């Protein structure tokens, strides 16, 4: 595992500069100094693990412009949310390989959108090769922070992501470069039980309940907030290695206390996602009223880093590296 802390993690690569989950986004993130890269993992109909923000891909690919796939458009309910579009599980990998990636936030990231349709989407195995090549090129290990998406849903349709992810990761690394994360604690335990070595991190929303708990217990599901109490953190520490929280939870009163309590329980703490655009900054750090313009990102990044977190997810890796250096007093 990289020795620099807190870790700077490229959120879907350098997704502030290139369409997310593309080869150029991943390679640029490595060149800009990240310690790790975070892909989102979903599956195809034939069980291939692909890297997309969601299994619904109309916002991140050109699938809507392919007339041969017009009949694949569907409406589904995923983790309590009704979505209409095109879903990875309705395609084979060979079919998805004909698509090209597009910028998910074209109004905010117009420069990135100029790279639309220039690159295909990738598989998890492609990213593993990119990480190995990046380590060889830069002379430093690049870790993987693999986010498993919608595990309960995929299991319900016969695509067990725990099995597919474990099969892909076993043998790639001895665990030193592997972090597995999910909003569903169940799948983390299942992947660990299948022999994957590494660290396991539970993603925590600011509100609501985990999808696996909601599927099991309905309205009686334990809320995320209850899992962040002193007793809740102690329970988590028996089963996972860390938690990853919405940055809003760290920017409000008590953020540093949350980090301290998690550390006291023996948990690492990551946070997502640090971005410079006004749209994503808390109001005190915005500059002007234009959403896509950058505000006082330095102040916000610094406020998060000063809580003592162990890792930050960033869309612009160079900004995360610079903010870390400033807080640590490095040149």
Average pLDDT of the segment spanning 186-192: 98
Q: Would residue 265 count as lying in a domain?
A: yes
Interval 244-287: pLDDT, tens: 999 999 999 999 999 999 999 999 999 999 999 999 999 999 99
As a whole number of angstroms, the distance between CA 288 and CA 46 comes to 48
Average pLDDT of the segment spanning 150-176: 96
Give the CA count within 13 Å in the CB-facing half-sphere of 138: 20
Q: Which domain holds residue 282?
A: 7-55+122-328
> How many folded domains does the chain comprise?
1
Average pLDDT of the segment spanning 1-21: 87
More confident: 36 or 171: 36
Q: Would residue 162 count as lying in a domain?
A: yes
Q: Would residue 79 count as lying in a domain?
A: no
Q: Would residue 93 count as lying in a domain?
A: no
Query: What is the pTM for the complete model shown?
Result: 0.96
Q: Would residue 324 count as lying in a domain?
A: yes
Token digits for 116?
A: 């639309």
Here the CATH number for the domain that contains residue 22 is 3.20.20.190
pLDDT, residue 329, reads 79
Q: Would residue 62 count as lying in a domain?
A: no
Q: How confident is the model at residue 330 (pLDDT cuts 50, 70, 90)?
A: low
Interval 298-322: pLDDT, tens: 999 999 999 999 999 999 999 999 9
Q: Would residue 88 count as lying in a domain?
A: no
Please state, rounded to an integer, the average pLDDT across all residues of the chain. 96
As a whole number of angstroms, the distance between CA 96 and CA 75 comes to 19
Helices 161-169, 124-138: crossing angle, 10 deg rounding: 30
Q: Would residue 203 count as lying in a domain?
A: yes
Strands (E), 227-294: 242-246, 268-274
Average pLDDT of the segment spanning 109-122: 98
């Amino acid at each position: 595992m990289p020795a620099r802390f807190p870790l700077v993690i490229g959120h879907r690569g350098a997704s502030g500069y290139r369409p997310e989950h593309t080869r150029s986004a991943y390679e640029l993130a490595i060149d800009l100094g990240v310690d790790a890269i975070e892909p989102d993992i979903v599956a195809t109909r034939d069980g291939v693990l692909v890297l997309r923000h969601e299994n619904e891909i109309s916002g991140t690919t050109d699938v809507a412009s392919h007339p041969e796939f017009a009949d694949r458009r569907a409406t589904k309910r995923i983790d309590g949310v009704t979505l209409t579009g095109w879903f990875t599980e309705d395609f084979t990998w060979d079919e998805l390989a004909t698509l090209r990636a597009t910028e998910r936030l074209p109004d905010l990231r117009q420069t990135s959108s100029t790279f639309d349709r220039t690159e295909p989407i990738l598989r998890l195995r492609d990213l593993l090769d990119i990480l190995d090549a990046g380590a060889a090129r830069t002379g430093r290990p690049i870790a993987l922070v693999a986010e498993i998406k919608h595990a309960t849903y995929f299991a319900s349709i016969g695509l067990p992501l725990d099995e597919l992810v474990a099969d892909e990761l076993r043998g790639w690394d001895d665990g030193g470069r592997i972090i597995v994360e999910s909003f569903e604690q169940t799948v983390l335990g299942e992947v660990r039980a299948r022999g994957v070595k590494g660290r396991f991190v539970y993603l925590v929303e600011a509100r609501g309940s985990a999808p696996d708990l909601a599927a099991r217990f309905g309205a009686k599901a334990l809320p995320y907030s209850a899992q962040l109490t002193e007793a809740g953190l102690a329970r988590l520490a028996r089963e996972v290695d860390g938690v990853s929280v919405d940055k809003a939870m760290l920017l409000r009163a008590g953020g540093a206390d949350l980090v301290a309590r998690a550390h006291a329980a023996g948990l690492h703490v990551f946070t997502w996602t640090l971005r410079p655009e006004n749209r994503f900054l808390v109001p005190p750090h915005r500059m002007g009223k234009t959403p896509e313009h950058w505000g006082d990102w330095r102040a916000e990044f610094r406020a998060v880093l000063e809580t003592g977190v162990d890792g930050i997810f960033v869309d612009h890796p160079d900004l995360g590296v610079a903010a870390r250096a400033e807080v640590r007093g490095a040149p």
